[in-house]
Chain A
Amino acid sequence: MRFVSLFQFRLAVLNVMALAFLALTTSAVRAVDIQTIVSDKGIKALLVEDYTVPLIALSFSFKGGSTQDAKGYEGTAQLLTTMLDEGAGDIPSQKLQEILEDNGMSYSFNSGFDRFSGSIKTLKTSADEAFKLTALMINKPRFDAEPIERMKAAQFNRLKAQETNPQAIASKAWNEAVFQKHPYARPSQGTFETLKTLDGKALEDYRKRVFARDNLVVGVVGAINPDELKAVLDKVFGDLPEKAQLSPVPEATFESGEDIHIEFATPQTNIRVAMPGIKRDDPDFYTAYLVNYVLGGGSFSSRLYSEVREKRGLAYGVYSYLGTYDSAGIVGAGTATRNERTKQTLDVILAEIARMAKEGPTPEELEKAKKYIIGSYAIANLDTSSKIAGVLVAIQEANLGIDYIDKRADYIRAVTIEDAKRVAAKLLSAKPTVITVGQKGS
């Protein structure tokens, strides 16, 4: 319980990394029996039936996310994630919380740059009621004044806490430096200013524009058959508007090369590095993914891990990643080290990036990366219903096709060492933007 905050602390940094990871996880090794289900009202879902455990996991996402926050109302989508269970239909906030708790379902709503998403997990025995409640939360949230004020008060405190959290400071600076005037640079968590203006009208306006059928994808896993699922899909999503009204999001352009230092009195400096990357639909995506694995994506075996942590003891964690968004691609890297070792650590990271740009991975490194990335799929993603449901959603979001799971290993195997060298050079030759948050000198 008390360490929940530790996870949140870490999550603040790794949002983007997680996105990259999700993009990867949509490829697979094991044949999973996926059915395409279309309900009477035309709602489509991918389904994996499995009766081993008496559970049903349903995940969904609407294209939208924080980019659809109205101007001056930044933080709407984020606030909405906390408001769907605070009263719906005729049921006020506290009563709804009790009903949800008594039902025993678990649920969460999340918002990223590009999508508003949700996950439901219910026991088979109480599934009817669970989906009825889900339908109510999605279609008829109340947005009463009391819970809105309460959620805003909690968000206010989170924003305050972020002011002195070195990782949050670095993330904010990173977003601003990388995305500049692009909608991704807008404060998706809201600001003290927008928290004043955000109200039920803003939430309902957002919900009406974004919660629709043409921007929806659904993945379901567990003890439910196709006919039962059709009924659930119609009940939960069937009455949403046919078309979402989304503001277009332009492509982001990023010219890296800035050096940004934010002075902050704390013992350990956070280091972030950013360069332009590629998007998920780029033909070089798999190659880039392999190159990144060798550089800093691989667990205990990446070059950054070996040079920064293993050989020199400079940091506890060090990573690089591909940030793939609908409208941007970024290569990022980061770590944290005691203030007096900041320069040394940064020099090592930049040297490794430059070496990878110049030489690419070795054939042995590339082979190892391929093995890891092919093999890791089932281990990382197929062992729980919720994870598989998440994969079914991700496959649809990235338009990978229902046979993608079978084909993915071939895409990875097809990458050659020449490809890897070419893409490493293309990807990692720009002068990176460097952000440091900590204490200089001392």
Chain B
Amino acid sequence: MQHLRKVSPLVWLFAGIAFPFVISDPTYTTIAIFALLFAAAASAWNIFSGYTGYIALGHAAYFGIGGYALAIICQHWQIPGGYTPFYLVPLCGLLAAIASVPLGAIALRTRRHTFVVITIATFFILQLLSYNLRSLTNGSSGIDFPLILQWAPGFYNLPFYYVALLLTVLALGVSWFVRHSKFGLGLLAIRDDEDRALGLGVRTGSSKLIAFVISAFFVGMVGAVYSYFLGSVQPSFTFDALFDVAIALMVFMGGIGTLTGPILGSLVLESSQQYAALNFTQGSGGLYLIMYGSLFLVVILLLPQGIVPSAKALWARYQATHTASVLPDPSGSGGANPVARSAPGDGMGLATPREEAKA
């Protein structure tokens, strides 16, 4: 069992690397690229919202900044299409992160609902700016990325696929690192009881802001790659309100505050959504919205804890009844769920902040 836990991430990584060779049909690699990009974004969103319990619904703003940054840089310096824009992706993430410092600092002065609403407001401000700052963003007609003429159709998706995979692995790695650091423990303490965490010496203000900036950094990079893959940026697509809801839904579906939940949720949701979009193109988008909304309702009302925590609870129950000795929690993901304080075990052998506070 212990060996399995150590080996399984490598198995998944290998499967991820091998995927485009096994299934080389561009239709499916395109779906995989979108799914992986969302997995990276959801994982990054989870570093802030999942661990601190502050639900940010404005990360589309940083997604948009990343996308626009890359488009503007490419246009301004006349960078040819190809590999070069990929090297600029971290810079775009950095710009998104820089923008998130003041915006996050303002939003984090408030708590709970007011925070959520302010993050939504920041998103709308930036979307308005992308419409209005015509000299920089070219208004509602947007900016096109340089065409990549030298890549053959069969090859085109591969670089994007591996960049998306790299982003996902990086985001997951940072998420794992945060989850296992003292900093991450502080974030979880904020989620459980912010005032008490402050009383116990957690630097709540700076911790929240750092987590916010980290997540904005990754979401910005995802935005850059995503927009480059689509080939253009436009205010309504690059700053998309649905993006906010989509990553929140993915994280909730997989299990908020867990390590693997966001990845699982986004792979399942985004690939099924892309598949549906490919195969049910009829209807003016209304049906799609209804399906999406209904799925959302079902997930929240029936599986409020998400797939990973629910599966863990089931597995724990199975083990308790089928084996004499109860092993420690076997699945690789950690993290207690905010809506499931009574869930058995934390999976990491870490004391929950609440227990620590009592001690």
User: Do the two chains belong together in a single complex?
Assistant: no
